[in-house]
Amino acid sequence: MIAETGLIALLIAAALALLQAAMGFGALRPDGESLLRAVRPVAVVQAAMTVTAFAMLLLLFSQTDLSVKLVAEDSATTLPLLYRITGAWGNHEGSMLMWVTILAVAGAAVAMFERRLPERTLAATIGAQGLIAMGFFAFLLFSSNPFERLPVPPVEGSGFNPLLQDPGLAFHPPTLYVGYVGLSVAFSFAVGALLTRDVSPAFARAMRPWVLGAWIFLTLGITAGSYWAYYELGWGGWWFWDPTENASLMPWLAATALLHSVSVLATRDGLRAWTVMLAVVAFSMSMVGTFLVRSGILTSVHAFALDPRRGAFILILLALYIGGALALFGARIATVAEGNRFDPVSREGALVANNLLLSAILGVVLIGTLYPLLVESATGDKLSVGPPYFNAAAGPLALILVAIMAGGPMMRWRRDRLVTVGRRVAIPAAVVVVALVAVLGALPGLRILPLLGLVLAAGAAAASVAPLWKRNLRRTPLFTWGMVVAHLGIAVSLAGMASESAFSQETLIAARPGETVHVGPYAIRFAAIDPIAGENYTAVKATLVATRGASTPITLSPEQRTFDNPPQQTAESAIATLVDGQLYTVVGEPVPGGRWQLRLWWKPFVTLIWAGGVLVAVGGALSLIGRVRPRRQVRAERDGYAR
Amino acid sequence: MTLRTVRILLWLPLAAFLLILALVAGGLIKPHDAAIRSQMVGRPLPAFDLASARGDATRIRAQGFADGKPRLLNFFASWCIPCVGEAPQLLALKRAGVAIEGIAVRDRPADLAAFLQQNGDPYERIGLDDSSGVQMALGSSGVPETFLIDGRGIVRSQHIGAIGPQDVGDMLAAVRAAQ
Amino acid sequence: MRQLLALALLVVPVALYADPVMAPEPLSYTQLPDPAAEARAQALMQTIRCVVCQGQSIADSDADLAGDMRAIIRQRIAAGEKPEAIRAWMIARYGRWVSYKPPLDPLTWPLWAAPVVLVAIGLLIARGTLRRRRAA
């Protein structure tokens, strides 16, 4: 009954989405007044139905109802409860259902809470949200039904991928999805504004909190994903420029650009067309990222390959939504009155530079990700585009971007003089010079990117707190705090990346129990190796005792796990987090002579990478609170961030 | 910029998107082959000199292939499950008069002997490739894989994966063509 | 997450095979004694794509063939060979695909030109916009 309830809820939600789209767009007609108010409750009920369907799926998974095909294929009764539940979105159908659930909830949130947007634009926005949801409901119902029953239930499920059996799965995909799908609101706002030709500072102010909200989750999702890959994959890497990672980075880059351009639109009524386009692009990147990468076309791995029917379905949806929005943009945006003019040397000038660089990085990532596909379809040659390209092509752009991020907030809106700007950036510039001298002196022979990264991080950290200088901190608006914290987070993260790249130390060795090996400042005694049994796996556990100088020894226990449903081995790393870095240990396979492969890394200040990511998200949250609370909003808006 | 160019610029994002869409649609229609093909096809067999897996003193050397007779060079291993499925086809090829040389990848002679006992032995000689050196030299990325080497010692083709019953005819024809 | 998912699934084809019984080459899991040589080997290994699991570099892969590739790279580096010569050797066998660093040739000129071209286009749009705005 549970599966049938879920299916029926899904059917009702799909019908409501259709109604929502019809009413939302219908409200734009001259006689559509009455529809304006009625469309809101429809969106809310639609979301309630979708949430019901998703709740039913969770219930099926937590009970491991093997008569449901999806559960039988992707779960097992022997799994721990946590993974029986998170397994609901560790597969294609379940993750799709989670995707539309978030979409529906986002639409309902707009319907319930949005008060600033002009009524007609709002109705069109909710209509657009309904239209998007409808397509994906159809996709679920026609080709990816998560509630399909099996005629004969198996005795046991096929199990769940061991690499996904990690608490990270409970947090990371939902967070990332809220970010991806949250951007649909900005997309729908843009479509609504294009339909009503109403792109104004008021529109920007209404859109900003929604973009911020999605962006916070996207930031957290990417940060969490990076850390998860770091400890789960067991080789110490934290970013691989894998197509799936790029797919999460591209919407983030677009959303970050959008956040900044929306500020220009809200404050100075400039960059109208550009902002609308970014709003469309950000969610388009989310959709392209979620579906095309998983289709297996890009990764050159058939693991996730959609069958042609599903692939074609998704492709048509993307063509309709993204193509439709971009065509609407091309046709309509010229009729939107042009925004304000502004001076190149000004806050908005710096924000334009920020947008330019973010878009260029986005372009590099997009081109680099798709280039192998382009080459293969044109010439049949296989090509790989990996870290060496992305680091070389996007790295320098990112460093310039950080420099602009440091200087931009010190410029005034409207117009500024280079001399006064120069005076304001004097202190951070001095920090950069001191850092450069210090790094060059202490660490000769450092590679250029890590060197510039370290130096710029120091300067950017100093510059990011400059907007608080000589300011009454208690009266400083919360969104200024938000900007400061987020920019500081970028500097912190950059410092972590540069430090990891420059100072990591690695020891790969085969050792016998009782031996002592060294990595970085640590002496590590390989104390023991023992067999252990987990809930659904067996493992060998190494006991490593690490000491540095006279400090208290740390015990680490990396494991090599063997799962049998499905059969697979995973290396569970053991990581000790210290104030000044992380000690990362992995035990590999046994080798002749009673020895075991050990992989050990000492990574100074590597945690700053993710701490910075969290800071960025916290900054976003502060900003969001500051924007949503109406106090002193108008005056601050006029004055912008500058003192 | 004139208003005209601006108006054209506004359609650029759509054009870019349609390009991406076309690319992906192409990729979807013609799902590409994940196998990494060897680039050694058409080039001389790289030099190697391997110990025999049969425990005798014979060596299996690259030079030995340039004796005017085309051969199949089969990479396999006793730990490789698809290799078991391939064995009957190799035996059929041998019966049809095809010379097959084997290279056992990361394998132990004792395990190999048991494997050959169970699945038949179509090989003229078997070399032990303990650290995948010959496999890499030939640009092979797994087991089983079969290369056709012509009588002048030139690599003529590569078959990735197990040879199925449906492949035997083609392979026989290819060997004859390389005569 | 999907990265993990993808990577996890990459491992699956390997699971079709039983594990090889041979002990791995020592240089596949131990470093060269000379830190400078090891650093060169490591930098190269980071940019050679694993032909078995396909989603990872051989420096990050548990596949046996990746281990043997690491061993051969370390041996050749220790013997004094230049990393780019080893990369060329790999490309001659497995094609351009095996190198995560796209070689600079006519096929990849557009790729390597992309950042410069993108920034130039961006500057053109931004400058046009600013100038147009100033004149308006």
pLDDT digits (tens, 9 = 90+) for C77-136: 999 999 999 999 999 999 999 999 998 889 999 999 999 999 999 998 887 666 544 443
pLDDT score of C40 more than 50: yes
Q: Where residue B9 falls among pLDDT bands split at 50, 70, 90?
A: confident
Q: Does C93 touch chain A (CB under 8 A)?
A: no
B13/A329 CB distance under 8 A: yes
Query: How far does Cα A598 stand from its chain's mean position?
Result: 33
> What is the pLDDT, as a whole number, of residue A633?
46
Considering only CA atoms, which of A120, A123, A116 is closest in space to residue A43? Answer: A123
Is A470:A427 a contact under the CB 8 Å cutoff?
A: no
Burial class of A323 by CB neighbour count within 10 A (0 to 12, 13 to 18, 19+): middle
> What is the pLDDT, as a whole number, of residue A642?
38
| Residue B104: φ, ψ to 5° | -90, 125
Neighbours of chain B (3+ CB pairs under 8 A): A, C
CA torsion, points A179, A185, A191, A195, in degrees to nearest 10? -170
Q: Where residue A401 falls among pLDDT bands split at 50, 70, 90?
A: very high
Is C83:C37 a contact under the CB 8 Å cutoff?
A: no
> What is the pLDDT, as a whole number, of residue A564?
79
Neighbours of chain C (3+ CB pairs under 8 A): A, B
CB pairs under 8 A between A and C: 185
List pLDDT tens digits, range B132-173. Answer: 999 999 999 888 999 999 999 999 999 999 999 999 999 999
pLDDT score of A338 more than 80: no
Q: Which of C55, C60, C99 sits opposite A237 (nearest CB)?
A: C60
Mutate: best of B75, B78, B136, B140, partner C, most C CBs <10 A: B136
> What is the pLDDT, as a whole number, of residue A638?
46
Delimit the domains of chain C by residue range. Answer: 2-102, 104-136
C20/B107 CB distance under 8 A: yes
| Secondary structure class of A353 (helix, strand, coil) | helix
Question: Helices A119-143 and A308-318: crossing angle, nearest 10°?
Answer: 170
CA torsion, points C28, C32, C38, C42, in degrees to nearest 10? 0
- Average pLDDT of A526-554? 91
> What is the pLDDT, as a whole number, of residue A285?
93
List pLDDT tens digits, range A4-34. Answer: 999 999 999 999 999 999 999 988 888 877 8
Structure ipTM: 0.88
What average pLDDT is seen over chain A? 88
Residue A76 to residue B31: CA distance in whole angstroms: 32
> What is the pLDDT, as a whole number, of residue B34?
74
> What is the pLDDT, as a whole number, of residue B148?
95
Q: Where residue A295 falls among pLDDT bands split at 50, 70, 90?
A: low
pLDDT score of A639 more than 50: no
Among A298-302, A524-528, A592-596, C53-57, where is mean pLDDT lowest?
A298-302
Chain C environment of B131 (Cβ under 8 Å): 25, 68, 71-72
CB pairs under 8 A between A and B: 64
Q: Where residue C19 falls among pLDDT bands split at 50, 70, 90?
A: low
Considering only CA atoms, which of A211, A214, A192, A301 is closest in space to residue A258? Answer: A211
Question: Helices A92-113 and A119-143: crossing angle, nearest 10°?
Answer: 160
Delimit the domains of chain B by residue range. Answer: 1-32, 49-177
- Beta strands per DSSP E along B42-165: 49-51, 59-61, 71-76, 99-105, 126-129, 145-149, 155-160
Top mean-pLDDT range of A86-90, A364-368, A447-451, C105-109 = A364-368
A567-605 residues labelled b (16+ CB within 10 A) or e (exposed): ebbbbbbbbeebeebbbbbbbbbebeeebbbbbbbbbbb
Helices (H), ranges, C16-107: 35-45, 64-78, 83-94
Delimit the domains of chain A by residue range. Answer: 1-165, 505-604
> What is the pLDDT, as a whole number, of residue A293?
64
> What is the pLDDT, as a whole number, of residue A388?
94
Q: Which architecture, in CATH terms, is B49-177?
A: 3-Layer(aba) Sandwich (3.40)
Q: Which of C29, C47, C98 sits opposite A387 (nearest CB)?
A: C47
- Which residue shows structure tokens 């404050």? A267
Q: How many angstroms separate the Cα of A68 from the Cα of each of A87, A125, A412?
A: 14, 36, 61
* Strand-pair category, A567-572 with B49-51: unpaired
A233/C57 CB distance under 8 A: no
Among A209-218, A293-302, A620-629, B125-134, where is mean pLDDT lowest?
A293-302
Residue C50 to residue C127: CA distance in whole angstroms: 45
Burial class of A283 by CB neighbour count within 10 A (0 to 12, 13 to 18, 19+): buried
Report, in angstroms and rounded to the nearest whole number, the Rg of chain B calculated over CA atoms. 23
- Average pLDDT of A325-344? 81
- Which residue shows structure tokens 């924007």? A627
C51/B141 CB distance under 8 A: yes
> What is the pLDDT, as a whole number, of residue A307?
66
> What is the pLDDT, as a whole number, of residue C6?
42
CA end-to-end distance (rounded Å), chain B: 68
Which residues have CB under 8 Å from A43's CB, separation 6+? A20, A104, A107, A108, A110, A111, A126, A129, A130
Question: Helices A119-143 and A2-26: crossing angle, nearest 10°?
Answer: 150
The residue type of A424 is R
The shortest C-alpha distance from B69 to chain C (Å) reads 24
What is the per-residue DSSP string for B28-48? Answer: HHSPPP-----TTTTSBPPP-
Q: Which of C18, C52, C97 sits opposite B79 (nearest CB)?
A: C18
B36/C94 CB distance under 8 A: yes
Q: Which of A163, A375, A567 sits opposite C4 (nearest CB)?
A: A163
Q: Does B8 touch chain C (CB under 8 A)?
A: no
Q: Which residues pair with B160 in a beta bridge?
A: B145
Mutate: best of B6, B39, B45, B84, partner C, most C CBs <10 A: B39
Q: Where residue A235 falls among pLDDT bands split at 50, 70, 90?
A: confident
Q: How many CA atoms lie within 13 A of C93 on its CB side?
A: 20
What average pLDDT is seen over chain B? 89
The residue type of C90 is M
> What is the pLDDT, as a whole number, of residue A474?
81
Which residues have CB under 8 Å from A145's CB, separation 6+? A7, A93
pLDDT score of A173 more than 90: no
Q: Where residue A51 falls among pLDDT bands split at 50, 70, 90?
A: very high
Q: Where residue B10 falls among pLDDT bands split at 50, 70, 90?
A: confident
Q: Which fold has domain C2-102?
A: Helicase, Ruva Protein; domain 3 (1.10.8)
Residue C66 to residue C86: CA distance in whole angstroms: 15
